[in-house]
Amino acid sequence: MKNLLETLELRKSYTAGKVQVEALRGVNLRIREGELVAIMGPSGCGKSTLMHILGAMTKPTSGQVVIDGHAIAGMNDNALTGIRREKIGFVFQKFNLLPTLTAHGNIQIARYIHGGRGDGQDQHLTEVLQLLMIEDKMGRKPSELSGGEQQRVAIARAVANKPAILLADEPTGSLDSKNSEIVLNMFRELNRRFKQTIILVTHNPELVAITDRLIEMRDGVIVTDNDPVSWDTESEMAIRRR
């Protein structure tokens, strides 16, 4: 299986008030295509910062990130936007659906931004909607949906364009236990049925049960990885050269 995502000596520091915070202190990570990975750790360990960098939402202070063959650390805003559009799907804790659009509109806007006309529905999306059991909710606005339904619409939106990587930041953080279980099972199904690469950032231990691999972070570094991908000198040098 090819490596879909690689980071090398990833560092990120920022200033909060007068304090310099080192959120990431040299993260080396490899994610294989089709993996379902959980990144866990206590609050402030740097997992959300890592996710923002992996999602091309923010740039690292130093180090390199390669997403599906594209080194993004030195990219400008336009290029990063292109990576987000083409390669990444996001699921957030607070769902982040556009409140003025229906569930259908929320999914179609993602397709439109991706370059489609935004008015069609292909086989992939039909299957996703079936899997997520929200086909009959498409005409509703977010305010007319339950939290679990909103999160399933957000998942459908995130995978509508078949992204290389689905990044989910605390996807069950705003859900009750019943809906959390439903949503987690759907991540599992998406991964199994569509071979979707998924990275879940969480501190929910229940979520770990459905993943293939658990990465734990503390103080801006990875402290454990139960299924690490080995680094050979040649590939490391290749990333460094980018």
Partner 1 sequence: MNKQMIIAGLKARPVRTTVSILAVALEVTLILVVVGLTAGISNETGKRTEGVGADILLQPPNSSLFLALSNTTMPVTIADKVRALPGIKSVSPVQTLVNSSAGLEIIYGIDPDTFNAISDGFIWHKGGLFKNANEVVVDDIYAKAKNVTVGDTVELVNHEFKVSGVVEHGKGARLFVSLKTAQDMTGQNGKASLFFVRLNDPDRVEAGIAGIKQLLQGYNVIPLKEYAKLMMSNSMPALDAFITTVVFVALCIGVLVIFLSMYTTITERTREIGILRSLGASKRFIVTLIFQESAAVCLFGVVIGIASSFVLAQGVQVVFPTLTVLITSHWIARASLFAILSGIIGSLYPSLKAAKQDPVEALAYE
Give the binding site for partner 1 (CB under 8 A): 52, 55, 57-58, 77-78, 81-82, 84-86, 88, 90, 92, 96-101, 105, 108-110, 112-114, 117-119, 157
Closest distance between partner 1 and the C-beta of residue 91, in Å? Answer: 10
Instruction: Report which residue type is found at 125.
Output: L
Closest distance between partner 1 and the C-beta of residue 125, in Å? Answer: 15
Contacts for 203 with CB less than 8 Å, ≥ 6 apart? 40, 41, 42, 43, 170
Cβ(58)–Cβ(125) under 8 Å? no
Q: Tokens 């770990």: give the residue.
A: 208
Of residues 53 and 214, the one with the C-beta less far from partner 1: 53
Of residues 54 and 214, the one with the C-beta less far from partner 1: 54
Of residues 140 and 188, the one with the C-beta less far from partner 1: 140
Nearest to 164 by CA among 27, 54, 239: 54
Closest distance between partner 1 and the C-beta of residue 228, in Å? Answer: 28
Residue 44: enclosing H or E segment and its boundaries? Answer: none
Closest distance between partner 1 and the C-beta of residue 189, in Å? Answer: 23
Q: Tokens 């990444």: give the residue.
A: 88
Within 10 angstroms of residue 234's Cβ, the number of other Cβ atoms is 7
Closest distance between partner 1 and the C-beta of residue 36, in Å? Answer: 21
Of residues 112 and 231, the one with the C-beta less far from partner 1: 112
E strands of 79-196, at which residues? Answer: 88-91, 165-169
The DSSP bridge partners found for residue 113 are none
Of residues 95 and 187, the one with the C-beta less far from partner 1: 95
The DSSP bridge partners found for residue 22 are 13
